[in-house]
Amino acid sequence: MDLGSLKVGSYIVIDGEPCRIVSYDHSKPGKHGSAKARVAAIGVFDGSKHSLVSPVSANMEVPLIDKRSGQVISISGQTLQIMDLETFEVFETSSVEDDIKNRIRQGGEVEYWKVLERIKIVRAKG
């Protein structure tokens, strides 16, 4: 997608990290240049701030976010073993939102996002 069509709340890839846009500002075109956009975004996995200044017409990479449900099979320290409820695929992850760590229990259902071949637990169901 081109940078001019994105807005606050959209997802974008900056430096190989999927990020959610929290601030978007653009300037008018000048006498010899094109309009520029200033984007501030927060990383989905690392939680750090990323910024980008680029022409509005520049093509940007937008990540595909696959939202799925899974069941927690086992918990060992920071690592969770999860089984997808559609494909019954089993995988391990340690990327969990801080505010839901204490609500995740063995045998419970969770919602997870698969973004750029990385997995993050975003919500505990029930």
In this structure, which amino acid lies at residue 62?
V
What is the predicted pLDDT for the residue at 100?
A: 84
In this structure, which amino acid lies at residue 83?
M
Write down all domains in the chain, each with its CATH number in brackets: 3-55 (2.30.30.30), 65-124 (2.40.50.140)
Backbone angles phi, psi at 101, to 5 degrees: -55, -40
Question: Which residues make beta-bridge pairs with 2?
Answer: 59
In this structure, what DSSP letter does residue 63 have? P
Reported as a single tens digit per residue, the pLDDT across 75-112 is 888 888 999 999 999 999 887 877 888 888 889 999 99
Q: Contacts for 7-11 with beta carbons within 8 Å, 24 or more apart? A: 10/62, 11/44, 11/62, 11/63, 11/65
Closest CA to 12 of 36, 53, 43, 54: 43
What is the predicted pLDDT for the residue at 65?
A: 93
Res. 55 pLDDT band, cuts 50 70 90: very high
In this predicted structure, the answer to whether residue 19 has a pLDDT above a threshold of 90 is yes
In this predicted structure, the answer to whether residue 44 has a pLDDT above a threshold of 80 is yes
